[in-house]
A and B are shown apart, each in its own frame.
Chain A
Amino acid sequence: AQTVTQSQPEMSVQEAETVTLSCTYDTSESDYYLFWYKQPPSRQMILVIRQEAYKQQNATENRFSVNFQKAAKSFSLKISDSQLGDAAMYFCAYRRGKLVFGAGTILRVKS
């Protein structure tokens, strides 16, 4: 079964600085999709970024980018120029068929 591991329960970053959230996954498949979701205190689930496994180029969305290492089964999220509104729980997710989530990382942003 596919598993997703987020080894950082909590992270802190100073406003305007850069932070990287880690994610590893386990799969025997070669074609799949990876996602990062943000969950603010409202508990709404917001898609941050997606990555197709067949694409070597790392996905970017404004201040958010990923470092996708397929052989290492690693999918980290980098947030640049952190803002107070980035404070939330962040989930890494894997999808081939069903969508499986990691345990999440709480990100705190200090002003």
Chain B
Amino acid sequence: SQTIHQWPATLVQPVGSPLSLECTVEGTSNPNLYWYRQAAGRGLQLLFYSVGIGQISSEVPQNLSASRPQDRQFILSSKKLLLSDSGFYLCAWTPGGKQRTEAFFGQGTRLTVV
């Protein structure tokens, strides 16, 4: 069966420090991968979307970047965190090319920038 791993679960980082959040998917190949951010009590904002290795679409101009070094690995990064980067980050995947299937989500990372 397919599983998705996202870590860490919580993170407290000082302003100006770097960030690296990692997400991996098991049990499938060629997934579509997503990074979302959710501010407190707010909706899910799509940050990055990837349909394959090295193919990443940035949805919102921001202080963050994403990379997909392997088929089932998706990394969210920042060189210098801002206070506004605080939030709940969710990684998700959908089967490539199968539009009907819903997205499967990781457990999320709660990031607090202090």
Residues of A within 8 A of B (CB): 6, 31-33, 35, 37, 43-45, 47, 50, 52, 89, 91, 93, 95-104, 106
- Residues on B with C-beta less than 8 A from A93 are 103
Total A-B contacts with CB atoms under 8 angstroms apart: 54
Distance A52 CA – B20 CA, assembled complex (angstroms): 36
Sample of 18 A–B contacts (CB below 8 Å): A6-B43, A31-B99, A32-B99, A33-B99, A43-B88, A43-B108, A44-B105, A45-B103, A47-B102, A52-B100, A89-B41, A96-B99, A97-B99, A101-B36, A101-B44, A103-B42, A104-B44, A106-B41
- Give B76-103 as 1s and 0s: 1 = Cβ < 8 Å from A's Cβ atoms: 0000000000001010101000011011
- Say yes or no: B34 contacts A98, CB within 8 Å: yes
- Say yes or no: B105 contacts A45, CB within 8 Å: yes
Q: A50-B100, A98-B49, A99-B94 known; 16 other A-B pairs, CB under 8 Å?
A: A33-B99, A35-B102, A43-B38, A43-B88, A44-B107, A45-B90, A91-B43, A93-B103, A95-B94, A95-B99, A98-B57, A99-B46, A99-B103, A101-B46, A102-B43, A103-B43
Distance A62 CA – B2 CA, assembled complex (angstroms): 26
Residue of A nearest to B90 (CB): A45
- Residues on B with C-beta less than 8 A from A37 are 102
Distance A31 CA – B59 CA, assembled complex (angstroms): 22
Interface size band for B: 20 to 34
- Say yes or no: B44 contacts A91, CB within 8 Å: yes
Identify which of residues 39-53 in chain B touch chain A, using a CB-to-CB cut-off of 8 Å. Answer: 41-44, 46, 49
Given contacts A99-B34, A101-B36, A106-B41, contact A33 B46 (CB under 8 A): no
